[in-house]
Structure 1
Amino acid sequence: MDQAKINVLLDREAIRDCLYRYCRGIDRADERALRSAYWPDANDSHGAYRGSAEGFIRFALGVFQTGSRNIHQITNILIDFTTPAEAAVESYFTALQRGPDEDGEVRQMLLCGRYCDLFQKREGEWRIAERTVIYDWLEEQAPPALLEADRFGARQPIGAHHPDDPVYALAKHRVLLGMDAERFRT
């Protein structure tokens, strides 16, 4: 395989990794991960929100404070390189979102759709420059009546916001062991 094909594979993987960081950022209320998915000058058309990615991030951070719960899954990632430094990316998502509405009543929604993103590569890094969220399915669901501790029972640990989610302890463990990404690139 020649170097050009290897570079395309590496670029594809970097774009996928960025999409996954976005999901972790939203689901774990991890501001750093969320910000790492967007370029500072990016725009986002996200349902009722339309504006800068910075504005969307501030909006999301406000939602995180309500104790909301989000689960996002990304599938069917199609990447079309329009130039060596730009890619049109369509990725399907399923999101289960639960949290209080404006009146404080807990709502739960199942959302399915697609992220249609313009990715740009700047200084060797791929991030979202423009995002439009297309909704294909919306279903309001009855939120569970039981508290999470009662519903999950012995199924522990329960996912949590940053930094309390167990995944962050795993990341700290890896750093202590010296198992960073650079080690695996050689």
Structure 2
Amino acid sequence: MTTGTTRILSELADREAIRECLYRYTRGVDRLDADMIRSAYWPEVEDTHLDFHGDAEAFIAWAFPIMGTMDQTMHMIGNVLIALHGQHADVEAYFYGYHRVTIEGGKRDVIGAGRYLDRFEKRGDEWRIIRRVVVTDWFREYPDSADWAAGLLGQRVDFGGRHPHDPSYSLLKIE
């Protein structure tokens, strides 16, 4: 299946809005920014995510205690396929999630990868997720984590933080 360039050009703004919504979600999860996550989901979203199934507020209540115990997290989005159907879109987006966690008193790195199978809905001039199914395709749990005290290649590192302390909140105007 291919999409012609003329059609992509006519759909470009909608496609970009959908990609931006995916990025808002990952930023919201990594920064523990509930409002950013809310901006990616319609309130009545149906999200099926590992052991979780529920709406936007229930997802935040479920995810934040888990993510809040992690030292660092970073989610990356790639391979985004978008099929527009009027006011709806079917979107498959690959993800990688990098997590530094404390388990049994020691630091470990955990990487999860898979796909977000999303149904987007456009209301007015805005695209958000109305249904999400998370499919895990790969993961790896390492028995340890790097010694971050030495810094990156011996250089001091200023790590990112959570909402509102991460530098992006004072340096950038992202809403």
Looking at structure 2, the residues matched to 110 and 64 of structure 1 have their Cα atoms a distance apart, in angstroms, of 13
- The DSSP-based 3-state class of the residue aligned with 2:81 is strand
Partner of 2:96: 94
Looking at structure 2, the residues matched to 107 and 51 of structure 1 have their Cα atoms a distance apart, in angstroms, of 29
Partner of 2:143: 142
Q: Structure 2 length as normaliser, TM-score?
A: 0.84
Contact 1:157/1:166 (<8 A) preserved: no
Partner of 2:125: 124
Give structure 1 stretches of 5+ with no counterpart. Answer: 173-179, 182-186
Looking at structure 1, the residues matched to 123 and 71 of structure 2 have their Cα atoms a distance apart, in angstroms, of 33
- The DSSP-based 3-state class of the residue aligned with 1:156 is coil
Partner of 1:175: none
Give structure 2 stretches of 5+ with no counterpart. Answer: 1-6
Task: Say whether residues 1:48 and 2:70 are aligned partners.
Answer: no
Partner of 2:18: 15
Count of residue correspondences: 169
Q: 1:105 to 1:132 in 2, by over 3 A?
A: farther
Contact 1:98/1:143 (<8 A) preserved: no
Contact 1:87/1:118 (<8 A) preserved: yes
| CA deviation after TM superposition for structure 1 residue 46, in Å | 0.4
| CA deviation after TM superposition for structure 1 residue 136, in Å | 0.8
- The DSSP-based 3-state class of the residue aligned with 1:159 is coil
| CA deviation after TM superposition for structure 1 residue 77, in Å | 0.5
1:174-185, aligned counterparts within 5 Å? none
Q: 1:165 to 1:149 in 2, by over 3 A?
A: farther
Contact 2:70/2:99 (<8 A) preserved: no
| CA deviation after TM superposition for structure 1 residue 143, in Å | 3.0
Q: Identity across aligned pairs (percent)?
A: 43
1:27-66, aligned counterparts within 5 Å? 27-66=30-69
| CA deviation after TM superposition for structure 1 residue 100, in Å | 4.0
Q: 1:104 to 1:86 in 2, by over 3 A?
A: farther
Q: Which amino acid aligns with 1:150?
A: A
- The DSSP-based 3-state class of the residue aligned with 1:41 is strand
Looking at structure 1, the residues matched to 158 and 105 of structure 2 have their Cα atoms a distance apart, in angstroms, of 27
